[in-house]
Structure 1
Amino acid sequence: MTYKALFLSPMIPSTNLLETLSFFRDTLDFSTVMENEAYVVCYKDNLTIHILKAGQEIGEMELYLEVDNVDALWSKIKDRLTDLKFKEPFNQEYGMREIHICIPHTNALLFIGQKLP
């Protein structure tokens, strides 16, 4: 029997669930679907992100979020990125325009990109 994969939902370990949730909710406009002291599920459009409580030794990971207008998103979020490491929009040699943001209280890097015309 074959199946169709609909979504890939990353799981991000965080040392501070509330701050990581705040980043996805307040900066990127995700909604909270489920939240407790050890686990959070966020949703936007057709995307789901799971954030789990981690100890001091958390793994590294990267996420790629493809959008239709990276510059419009940048205009909306740039003032919300205080105290975060980020790289503002730039063109990559592989045909994407990207923003890079270190996700708060994780060892994860978020790439946000749009295909160049």
Structure 2
Amino acid sequence: MPPYEAKTLSPILPVADMQRSIRFYTEVLGFAPGLQSDTYSIVTRGGASLHLTLAADDSVLERTRGHMSFYLEVAGIDSLWPHVSQFKDSYKTRDLFDRDYGMREFHILDPDDCLIFVGEEIQKE
């Protein structure tokens, strides 16, 4: 393997409604809008970026809906959760809980049923 540096890995998610998805990631998870077009947009927060692409047709969403997930590791999950929990009536969520592998997490489905695991390492005392 030749030497190289992997700088970032950014998922590209197909979405049904670009503006609805941008609103979700900015209002619920606090990402900032970056590049935006009718068919492709990027939202960022810290070192994380997420690329959104408008699905060409319903068949794309039929293949991906419920089969996409990613893990967003954060610092400050205990302060983020009260904000996100305000949206529980609009989005399916799993409340904040501790995992046996040392992470505190909550889960939320985005508007296109991508499952987002949001977690932070539990600090050992």
**TM-score normalised by length of structure 1:** 0.91
- Counterpart amino acid of 1:15? A
* RMSD, aligned α-carbons: 1.3
Q: Which residue does the alignment assign to 2:50?
A: 49
Q: Report which structure shows greater RCO (CA 8 Å, sep ≥6).
A: 1
Q: Which residue does the alignment assign to 1:87?
A: 94
> Which blocks of at least 5 consecutive residues in structure 1 are unaligned?
none
Percent identity among equivalent residues?
Answer: 28
Rg larger in structure: 2
Between the aligned partners of 2:104 and 2:30, the Cα distance in structure 1 is: 21
**TM-score normalised by length of structure 2:** 0.85
Give runs of aligned pairs for residues 67-106 of structure 1, distance below 5 A.
67-104=74-111, 106=112
> Which blocks of at least 5 consecutive residues in structure 2 are unaligned?
none
User: 1 or 2, which has the higher strand percentage?
Assistant: 1
Moved over 6 A (4+): none
Deviates more, 1:42-51 or 1:80-89: 80-89
Q: Which deviations, in whole Å up to 9, do the C-alpha atoms of 1:47-90 show, x marking residues without a partner?
A: 11100111223212111111122111102222134311001101
Shift of 1:24: 0.8
